[in-house]
Amino acid sequence: MITLRKKVYGCAPAHTIYLGPGRKEFHPKKPRPGIEHYIFEAGRASVAQVSNPDAIDQGVIGNFMASRFNRQGHLAAFLPAVHESLHHKPCTRVEGACGSGGLAVSTAVNAILADLADAVLVIGVEVQNTVKAMYGADILAGAGHYSRERKNGHAFFFPNCFSIRAGAYYDKYGRERTRRAMAEWYALAIENARRNPNAQEHHNRDPNPRATGMTEPNAKAFLEHISVFDCSKVTDGASALILASEEGLKKLGVPLDRSARIVGVGHCEGDLTKDPADLTRQDTTAASAAAALGMAGISASELGLLETHDCFTISGLLSLEAVGLAEPGKAPDYVLDGRTRIDGECPTNATGGLIGFGHPTGCTGVRQVADLIQQLTGRAGDCQVKFPTGKPYAMSMNMGGNDKTVLSFVMAAD
């Protein structure tokens, strides 16, 4: 098993507000910040947390579709405007669909392990409330094999991909219990987001989110097997963090207790030209999670916190089975038994996940790792979980496309 050749730490986590439908500040007909605003806000908030920004050697930015949502490419060249210390230093933009943020984190890890940098600023960003929903769905379809799948695909392409997965899961394991678990997943996402002031659903005051989550799917209005409440919303936002070696932390002036160490990485790719072999299983996610856990030398039972890529409630359930917390077909029981609650056996998506916090597509993987850092350093505010004895690890899983690009990270307080 490959292991990290030296210690890599994460520090200085920062988030913008995740703006979109659901936030009081959002109005679709009023001017809103551009993509550079989010890059600068998150990046500068991260850099402000270190004593010596000049120690930052490189920058990496993760983004999916700025060239279409914002008519803006060349995002790496925005990083020197985040802080002058990055002027004339290497900066890179990476893309892996909804896994772009995780890919940015992985790229920074690799730079440190290759001795090319001791400290790397990582930013994830997406601004996608710039087009109507139907056009946005077409843009996001670029995360699939567009020439093969899009022409005959549903108007809401990716929601339909996971509606099909949900239907297959119902057929194999039972619809009623699965629908109740999906509604519970939605309700927990809303409840956790209410504790998170940056979350898109922070202002959600639905008195009965479980009943809302049970809204019956309507194929004539949307999709056959999921409702709009099973979907993450369209989000504008950015998150940032800094990765560093031990020497890098010292150069930055960051105390060890304000950082968390990456102890496992799993980066796996599926074949974009092929449909899922089993609609009820996210096999690339499973491979990525196994690689990260294996590198860390732990089992899923030692996780005290999990961040999953719940772009849809069904993908949340499938991720629990992929990581090994629940056996195939048993994820609904795991959720309905309260094990994913913030005070449960393995708190999951404690800040709201993609459904509650929001899903600026190319940013999410950075947000997840930033959340792990905040949790492991005890700085997660009202969303803070308690890590029991024997469960000191936290894990994130960031998925691009229909289980094609997946980045998993295991972290621990050093």
Q: 74: Cβ–Cβ under 8 A, 6 or more apart, which residues?
A: 93
Please determine whether the domains at 8-131+235-259 and 157-231+261-412 fall in the same fold group of CATH: yes
Q: Is the pLDDT of residue 1 over 80?
A: no
- The whole-number pLDDT of residue 2 equals 81
Instruction: Check pLDDT > 90 for residue 291.
Output: yes
Q: Measure the CA–CA gap between 290 and 327, rounded to whole angstroms.
A: 14
* Sequence ranges of the domains in the chain: 8-131+235-259, 157-231+261-412
Residue 152 has pLDDT above 90, yes or no: no
Give the separation between CA 210 and CA 181, rounded to whole angstroms: 10
The CATH fold of domain 8-131+235-259: Peroxisomal Thiolase; Chain A, domain 1 (3.40.47)
Per-residue pLDDT tens digits for 250-277: 999 999 999 999 999 999 999 999 999 9
- What global pTM score does this model have? 0.98
The CATH homologous superfamily for domain 157-231+261-412 is Thiolase/Chalcone synthase (3.40.47.10)
Q: State mean pLDDT over 368-388.
A: 98
**Residue 144: CB partners within 8 Å, gap ≥ 6?**
150, 153, 157, 158, 161, 272, 401, 402
Average pLDDT over residues 328-356: 98
Q: Tell me how far CA of residue 375 lies from CA of 25, 116, 308, 372, 386, in angstroms.
A: 27, 29, 15, 5, 9
Report residue 153's pLDDT band, with 50, 70 and 90 as the boundaries: confident
Residue 331 · residue 322 · CB < 8 Å:
no
The pLDDT of residue 3 is 86
